[in-house]
Amino acid sequence: MDVILTFLIVISERMRAMPRTSFRLSSLLCMAGVLLSGSAAQMPVRVYTVPVAPWTFPGAPERGVAAEYLRYFFDTAGVPVTLGTLPYLRVISGLRDGSNAAAILIPDAERDGFALQLCQVTTIRSGVLYKKSRFRELNLDQLGGLTVGMQRGTHALDKLNSISGLHPYLIDSIDQGLKMLQRDRLDATFLSNPGSDSLVRAAGLKSADYGWLEVEVKAVVIYISRKGALGQDQAALQRLRSVCSGSGRAVMARLMQQYR
């Protein structure tokens, strides 16, 4: 509002001082372009994370690996940012249409089409949780014929697609999968590490009653939307890369240890 008010005052003063000619109109248009482009450059980019602990804690969107790292990442690079949360699939669609400037995600070829892989920040161990009362020790060979909860849209468990007879059940959230597993509506369900311990506790499950089978290790990268203004700002992207490859490494290592 202050920027708009200042803009109007400046334009009004310039109008009174100019003669009534075509030069007056063109000059006003030039001034408006300069002022508005300057104010737009200061507008913060909108970045959304998924409210799933430990990446971003529901009810505390400023806490978590993704939320705290992204805040440091953008602040250190001098890029104003406003952080928010959205469901997983809306974070992806926001990258596609430019309404979400950046996200921390597992890379895949489809996302590479509408977002730029800026840098790798960490890795994630993806696996499935199961009840020990049903399986003393579950392994990949035993997954055939089982119904496994797999989060809609994720590529964290792509390896399971090659297991003959496995029945994937698409879940909208990790919490949904844990509840269904607890009620024996699933044989196993997706759960990643870091965060597996905290999510099991938050769901009210006794960790001693459950086992975890690691399926694969995936890279985690920062994607920048190709349609957003940030994706066109090469200077800002270079500063962000420098943070990622420099001080950002220690920050991510600390957060992964803190929220394991």
pLDDT for position 142: 92
Same fold, 45-119+222-258 and 124-218: yes
pLDDT for position 18: 52
Residue 164, phi then psi, degrees to nearest 5: -65, 130
Domain at 124-218: CATH code: 3.40.190.10
pLDDT for position 58: 82
Q: Which helix (H) or strand (E) holds 115?
A: strand 115-131
Q: 212 is written with which tokens?
A: 């975890």
Q: Is the pLDDT of residue 38 over 70?
A: no
DSSP state, residue 172: S
* Range 169-180 average pLDDT: 91
Neighbours of 15 (CB within 10 A): 14
* C-alpha separations of 98 from 13, 42, 84, 110, 171 in Å: 37, 18, 15, 15, 26
Domain ranges of the chain: 2-41, 45-119+222-258, 124-218
pLDDT band of residue 161 (cuts 50, 70, 90) is confident
pTM of the model: 0.72
Distance, CA of 195 to CA of 221 (rounded, Å): 18
* Range 107-132 average pLDDT: 94
Nearest to 214 by CA among 193, 235, 241: 193
pLDDT band of residue 111 (cuts 50, 70, 90) is very high
Peptide bond into 54 cis (omega under 30): yes
Q: Which CATH superfamily is domain 45-119+222-258 in?
A: Periplasmic binding protein-like II (3.40.190.10)
pLDDT for position 167: 94
* Range 152-177 average pLDDT: 87
Distance, CA of 135 to CA of 249 (rounded, Å): 38
* 42 or 139, greater pLDDT: 139
